[in-house]
Chains A and B, each alone.
Chain A
Amino acid sequence: MDNKPWLVSLAYYLASSRKYQKIKDFFYNLLENSHYKYNKFFNIFMIIVVLVSVTSLVIDVQYDIPNWLNNFDLYFVTIVFIIEYILRIWVYSDIKKIIIEEYEERIFFGKKLSLVRLYIKIFKDKWSYVSSLPSIIDLLAILPSYRGLRALRVLILFRAFKMLRYTKSLTGFLDVLKRKKTELLTLFTLAGFFIFIAGIMLYVIEGNKNPHIHNLFDAFYWALVTISTVGYGDIVPVTPEGRAVSMLIIATGVGLIAFITSVIVSAFSERISSLREEKVFQDVSKKRHLTVLCGYGLLGRLIAKGLEKEKIDFIVLDIDEKMTALADNDGYYALNADATKSKIFEEIGLKDNIAHVLCMTSDDIQNAFIAVNVKSLNQNIVVTARCSDSDVAKKLAFVKVDHIIMPEDIAGKMGVVYAGEPAAFEVLLSIIEHKHKTQIDEIHITAESYFDGKSIKEIDFNSLRLIFLGVVKANKEMGDFGSFIFNPQKEYILHGGDKLVCIGYQTAIANVKRMV
């Protein structure tokens, strides 16, 4: 065992160290993971640092800046940048994994580990990061700190570029352009070709007649200014042949610019919905105990309103784009997605984000499909499904859907109440639909609160202005069904965890809730 090279031993040591992994994870999250809560603060901090340094360097061009600011820029900013640069190289990939893999592979084949080969492999791996555009910008942004060479000041530009890293909206813009790489590349090549031809032509025609054209560069400069329709007018063709060339490239220039603009705009309109979606994902992924409402039809909309009122975090999923747009307009988180597929739930975060899923589309089979999908992914998610057919209800019960809601049944049962008792129906409707300010509510008794250990007799519900219906017991041993005790005896003792069910005026209920 001892003949392992020290590099391999170190790799094994680090791989087994939980602390090392924890630290590395922390820095990875801080630098790269936009869902990490401190990532935002880090980004804001870096933007401020960049702004301060750019400002001080710009002021330095014409005026003297105070010594402390110069020092701040020279030492603090540079050190921050260098540390960030090194950290990013570090967290980019896992060297120890490469080492261990290489070592084990060699052992397996009974060959000797070649350190040179290993170093090359490691270098290649890190180089793929160092040679990437963001990394080059990072490196160049460090350089302006070197005061010896004034030309390096130009590289301030890269400090400004560096800000791209820290703002999601700006990187989104670059992403959009990246998607249209081929189109843009073609257009820019075409433009370059025109500039090249026109520049050479003007140089050949007017190189010795035009006093402003001294060399080929001047001619190219003129061609670019003209084709872009900017037209400074510092260099103008003086011969009819030169003007003819101008006319040609002006005509092509107008077309080219329109073309490029339309490509960029179309790229954006294609991406705009997915950018919005990303924003929704980002916001939602921070929530815990999220409720997912599938279906934004008549019922879905009413439920959304109710959830909003109760301040429950929820997201609307609908397969119909129009419905999603409607939910979005109503100010809710909404995604256009197929809830019968596991992908969307995985993206939202199955394990600890979603607490409830409400299957409320108007189609029984769809609801069953969604319910099965969710339950098969994670049994702990509470699923409430709507259905109209009692045969479907049996199937939902079979897949262990927690709550089955049948709107027609509910309405039917209420209709029955009316048949015998119209006045009772009025009262019931008023309580259920919150028509008046009197409502039915539950009061959770916390341990060691005012109510804990008191008997019903001791609590004067009359003076609290409440109609007391009963208690839902805390312990589940008695079974879920039997645990509601209607109108308990006066000697009944309340305990922490019990829930009182009362009817009363809003303020009266709020008052009691404050007491417990």
Chain B
Amino acid sequence: MQKNNIIIFGYETFGQYLYESLLDADYNIKIVSFDDKFTSKAKEQNIDIIKIDIKKDSDIQSLNIDEYHDLLYCAMPKTADNLFLVLTLRALYKDAIIIAMSNSHENTRKLRYAGASNIVDMYEATSRRVVNILTKPAVTKVLDEIVYKQNRLKMAEIKIPKNSPLVGRSIEDVDFKEMGIVLIAIIDEALDHKFSFTDHRINHRLDDNDTLVVVAMRDDLEIFKSNLQNV
């Protein structure tokens, strides 16, 4: 995995949580803020915060964003600021990956229109979780382990390299289960770039550059990955 820069705009609660979670995953993280309010907390934690003015393009350009490698998270506390930020970033960097925080369907639509590549709808995810706690305790437990606790189980994507033993075989022929891997979805490079769930309705033939989306124990995942490489 290449070590990309991650830039978090806004250091309110979401930014803080994102930062803490990302620390474990070991990335280069820059935090950019426009507000003095939260910089003091960051100072306590010994985090350097870059302060800029959101309205000035020159300020943003001074961050030296690499639009092909950096991940940009927009998590401004105010929706209006967030929207403006997404707009500015998209105008400056056409190919950058911009992930925006949203708190409603309506804002999700606006952010998408403004050019966000992906949007995390905070309340949508939260409300699903609350309802799941009430109705699907088992599902809650599983999602907890995969997404929120992230210690044993992991959801990951794996690109099938050239010359991998998997190339040319169909999904049904490969015993993923034996390897401790549960295959959930596949992005078939030959068809389109959209993912499809591998719920056995269609039997895919695996090609190189296809991406597998799997859930597995961390150890099994590493073994699986290295097996793919070492032919």
Contacts and interface: CB of A to CB of B under 8 A. Distances in A.
Given A440-B142, A442-B138, A408 B13 contact: yes
Given A411-B17, A503-B199, A419 B125 contact: no
B139 interface: yes
Interface string A374-408: 00000000001010110000000000000101111
B207 to A, nearest CB: 16
Contact of B133 (A302, A403, A472): A403
A238 interface: no
Interface string A288-314: 000100000011001101110110100
A441 interface: yes
B213 to A, nearest CB: 5
A424 B199 contact: no
Query: Which of A309, A415, A432 has most B Cβ within 10 Å?
Result: A415
A426 B129 contact: no
B78 interface: no
Contact of B134 (A356, A418, A421, A484): A356
Interface string B126-151: 11111101111111011101111010
A427 interface: yes
Contacts of A467: 182-184, 197-200
Contacts of A406: 17
B73 interface: yes
Contact of B213 (A412, A415, A427, A486): A427
B142 A470 contact: yes
B223 to A, nearest CB: 14
Contact of A407 (B20, B123, B213): B123
Contact of B157 (A305, A360, A421, A469): A421
Interface string B169-202: 0001000010011111101000000010111110
Nearest to A297: B123
Contacts of A410: 122, 125-126, 129, 147-148
Interface in A418-438: 418-430, 432-434, 436, 438
B13 A505 contact: no
Given A423-B195, A433-B128, A467-B199, A412 B18 contact: yes
Contacts of A407: 122-123, 125-126
Contacts of B211: 423
A280 B103 CA distance: 30
B217 interface: yes
B104 interface: yes
B124 interface: yes
Nearest to B147: A413
Interface string A450-470: 000000000001110111111
Given A412-B20, A419-B22, A484-B141, A426 B195 contact: yes
B201 A505 contact: yes
A358 B157 contact: no
Nearest to A498: B138
Contacts of A428: 146-147, 155
Contact of B123 (A298, A441, A462): A298
A487 interface: yes
A310 B97 contact: no
Given A413-B147, A413-B150, A419 B155 contact: no
A501 B138 contact: yes
A298 B104 contact: yes
B103 A298 contact: yes
B153 interface: yes
A418 B98 CA distance: 11
A472 B1 CA distance: 32
Contacts of B224: none
A312 B6 contact: no
Q: Give the contact-size bracket for chain B.
A: 35 or more
Contact of B129 (A405, A441, A501): A405
A416 interface: yes
A197 interface: no
A51 interface: no
B201 A465 contact: yes
A412 to B, nearest CB: 3
B125 A416 contact: no
A310 B131 contact: yes
A44 interface: no
Contacts of B153: 486
B71 interface: yes
Interface in B48-99: 71, 73, 97, 99
A481 to B, nearest CB: 9
A117 B185 CA distance: 87
Nearest to A307: B131
Given A423-B187, A490-B177, A433 B118 contact: no
B139 A416 contact: no
Interface in A469-508: 469-470, 472, 483-484, 486-487, 490, 499-501, 503-505, 508
Interface of B: 1, 4, 6, 13-14, 16-18, 20-22, 25, 27, 71, 73, 97, 99, 101, 103-104, 118, 120-131, 133-139, 141-143, 145-148, 150, 152-153, 155-157, 172, 177, 180-185, 187, 195, 197-201, 211, 213, 215-217
Given A415-B22, A432-B143, A465-B201, 11 more contacts: A306-B128, A405-B129, A410-B122, A411-B125, A416-B25, A419-B4, A419-B71, A432-B128, A472-B137, A503-B197, A504-B199
Interface of A: 291, 298-299, 302-303, 305-307, 309-310, 312, 356, 358, 360, 384, 386, 388-389, 403, 405-430, 432-434, 436, 438, 440-442, 461-463, 465-470, 472, 483-484, 486-487, 490, 499-501, 503-505, 508
22 contacts: A298-B104, A302-B124, A303-B131, A384-B130, A403-B133, A405-B126, A413-B150, A415-B73, A415-B120, A419-B27, A421-B157, A422-B118, A427-B213, A442-B137, A469-B182, A472-B141, A483-B141, A484-B138, A484-B141, A503-B197, A504-B199, A505-B199
List of 3 A-B pairs having minimum Cβ-Cβ separation, nearest first: A412-B17, A302-B127, A306-B131
